[in-house]
Amino acid sequence: FFGAVRVYLEDRFPLLKFLPDFVLRSLDSPPILDFAASKAGSTRAAGHEAMTVSMLEGTAGPMAREFERMVKWVRAHVEPDAVFLSNAFLLGVAQAFKTYGTTPVACIAQDEHTWVDAGAPEMQSTIWQTIARQSVHADVLLSVSSWYASHMSRAMGSPSRGISVIPFGVDPARYAGSSGTTDHRLGFLSRLSHDTGIETLVHGYSILRSRNTSPELALSLCGGFTQDDTPRLEVSLAKARGCGRVHTAQGFGLAARTNFLSTLSVLSVPSPVRLALGTFIVEAFASGVPVVQPDEGGFSELVRATGGGVLYSPNTPEALADALQELIEDQHTREKHAKRGYEAVSEVYNNTAMASAAVEALAGA
């Protein structure tokens, strides 16, 4: 449902919605979607503000037919006990389910601000107001950190119903512990982009290498990138290779990530954007790998709550290099943080605890 090509064209050319459904369905065919994906750069917010609002409006907006089709299919084939929406931009789905039945709906708010803030300034308040208005159709609003729950509430204009916080969790059984190799490796696990801090990490790594305090330190990278990222990424990789060893992992699926994490001594993703949490942090904890993160947003909350790493400020290459050097050269402290992070996942930040918290929140709505 909501094939990218079809939704995009219907948004740009509204008269297309009057074509027979079998014609429009052809736009959702795998060959067309694969072709579009192969030509894509970044997913850009700029220029798609109106489509964002259209998706939020659900059955009351221009995509009403798509929402109706989806809900009817789900109710006929799945009969869900509940519906969980992965972000607030899908609140139009909540409205559609409430229009056609009483299925309880939960919505997990996470990092919507990164999309809204990248859009046209004159549309940002409209999007937040639409999110706030549509949020009444969700039986419960959830967030993975207290920081983001507060941030989201302010952006929505402090809705009357609060946002419940449930710790994000992974399945610990899927992650192997770090190999503890003496060949120190500094890891980065995210999209290889300026927006996620890859350039800051490379600069910090080059500073460490120039100090010659960790001559065996290598840089390991795992993450995808788009055509938009390539020019700046090539410059960063050339800089990193000029001052030390660089390893680039193949793939970004779960198996690739777990294998990658098992080789690291420490992980750092110095994102210049404040994020709700950072899944990569919990995955690192599950692998027994400590983290070094900017003292900002959800990073601060998670690292302080667990003791699984080190926070630094400001988010500059120099401050990052200082924090990394201290942790890399002190094996005892590194192992202490790794143990605390692993214990936090075993006790709190795991999939079973997250599922229980989500069910409890929905039952109490």
How many other CB atoms are there within 10 angstroms of residue 56's CB atom?
A: 25
Compute the average pLDDT of residues 200-228.
Answer: 88
pLDDT at 182: 52
For residue range 304-334, list pLDDT tens digits in order.
Answer: 999 999 999 999 999 999 999 999 989 999 9
Backbone angles phi and psi of 121, in degrees to 5? -55, -35
- Percentage above 90 pLDDT, the chain: 69
Which has the closest alpha carbon to 52: 11, 85, 3, 94? 11
Compute the average pLDDT of residues 172-181.
Answer: 77
pTM of the model: 0.89
pLDDT at 213: 66
Backbone angles phi and psi of 324, in degrees to 5? -65, -45
Please tell me what DSSP assigns to residue 350: B
42 has a pLDDT exceeding 60: no
For residue range 256-271, list pLDDT tens digits in order.
Answer: 999 999 999 999 999 9
Higher-confidence position of 294 and 183: 294
For residue range 5-40, list pLDDT tens digits in order.
Answer: 888 787 778 788 778 877 887 888 888 888 877 766
For residue range 275-290, list pLDDT tens digits in order.
Answer: 999 999 999 999 999 9
